[in-house]
Amino acid sequence: MARTGESYSTARRHVAGAPAPVAHGGYRLRGGTHPVSAALAGVLAHHGVRAAGAELSEAVLFGLAGGPGAGYILWEFERDGSRPVVLGFSAQWQYIDRAPLAALQRLGVPAAVERTGGAVTAARTLGAALDAGTPALVWPDRYVAGYWHLPAILDGMGGHPVVVHGRDGDRYRLDDRTLAPLTVPVGRFDAARARVGSYRNLMVVPRPEGDVPEEVLRGAVLEAIADCATRLGGTSTSFALPAWAKWARTVTDARAAKGWPRVFADGHGLAWALTSVWEGASPAGMTGGHLRDLTAAFLEEVEPLVGATAPAARAWRAAAAAWHEVAETALPVDVPEFARLRELTAAVQQAVVAEGDAGAGDAEAAAAELWALRAEVDAAPPLTTPERDDLFAGLADRLRAAHAAEKAAVGELAAIG
């Protein structure tokens, strides 16, 4: 995982084959890559939903939710001096619930959407859904939820959707792309749901009414592909492919307000930014990585249904390779401190995903070392000024290559249908 940037599930398959799904209280834990699409796949499979004779895979649901996205933000926080990078690799990444709702709407699957500011009402509504045997998608704050063992500076910084699929006494049963049982105390999790004001206590409960007809699935796939091509092919420098070109320019632009040579002139915060680029683009992070391989898998799986998707799938595989090079350049493994950051990030994910509750101690220990080392190298990055400038130049080149690969891939998407 640390060397290749693969997710735990993928890396494990290379060594030991695909793990058998584990049932936790009647809900099947299947792992996954992207929080939204993995959650949808788990819930719809729990309800026995099938389309074209098979369960809806994570890859297909990723495509139906809008597929890949584009977005880049370099934050500068005065409160702690951190300068993290946020990357938007999935559709509608800037809006919390639009992607899962888009997938469900395209499939014709009804869903209840609950938004309440009251903790008591939110807990009661979630409990009612669980009592009815309907797992729910919820959006807890990662820091407050606790099992990723994040530092306090990330309190209130948000999180991704997870599935709550049951309750054992004073603990909720969760699925966060996990392969082993994972639970969180009810009080802590209720607080995590309420932590972020913009989507406090948001809950989406899919309530399918049967299988999805093949003609509905085909129409949904074609609509999602066309929407993705239009969205990514737009002119926005924040939410379309031009975001990558803008980022590539600022990495070496010393005059721009957000130019990296200017922002990181004193070196402070650079390691955080570089690590967040690697985490954001790598499946070893918490949000699934660049997701270009998942896009290709979607296109490969739907070819029997809509035809002529192979050229687009190959183009997105090429884009995936380009983003892998971006991640490798941002946090080079030949720098010992950076290599250790990668190892510790992978260790935390392995403990959470593979072991769930049983890995809590390992996750906590790895996370403690990880965040201590991040703080250390963030204050004094292990790069000389010439090394830093060379890294910036290399990163800009890799970003331009990724941008070019995605332009070609979007062109192939636009040709489908």
Say if CB 341 and CB 377 are below 8 A apart: yes
Please classify residue 406 by burial: count the beta carbons closer than 10 Å to its beta carbon, then call 0-12 exposed, 13-18 middle and 19+ buried. buried
Confidence of residue 303 (pLDDT cuts 50, 70, 90): very high
Query: What's the domain range around 259?
Result: 8-117+205-414
Residue 344 CB partners (closer than 8 Å, separation 6+): 366, 367, 369, 370, 373
Does 14 have pLDDT greater than 60?
Answer: no
Alpha carbon of 393 to those of 248, 326, 330, 351: distances in Å?
9, 12, 11, 35
- Tokens 């320019």 appear where? 249
Q: Is residue 171 part of a domain?
A: no
Q: Is residue 133 part of a domain?
A: no
Residue 341 CB partners (closer than 8 Å, separation 6+): 271, 275, 278, 331, 370, 373, 374, 377
**How is residue 399 written in tokens?**
């970003």
Say if CB 122 and CB 203 are below 8 A apart: yes
Give the model confidence (pLDDT) of 207-236 as tens digits. 999 999 999 999 999 999 999 999 999 999
What kind and span of H or E run contains 374?
Answer: helix 360-379
Q: Angle at Cα 224 formed by Cα 319 and Cα 241, nearest 5°?
A: 40
Average of pLDDT values for 351-360?
96
CB atoms < 10 A from the CB of 325, how many?
18
Give the model confidence (pLDDT) of 358-415 as tens digits. 999 999 999 999 999 999 999 999 999 999 999 999 999 999 999 999 999 999 999 9
Strands 85-87 and 111-114 turn out to be unpaired
Q: Is residue 146 part of a domain?
A: no
**What distance lies between CA 289 and its chain's CA centroid?**
6
Q: Is residue 27 part of a domain?
A: yes
Q: Is residue 190 part of a domain?
A: no
Q: Please count the structural domains in the chain.
A: 1
Q: Is residue 180 part of a domain?
A: no
Q: Of 398, 383, 281, which is closest to residue 335 (Cα–Cα)?
A: 383
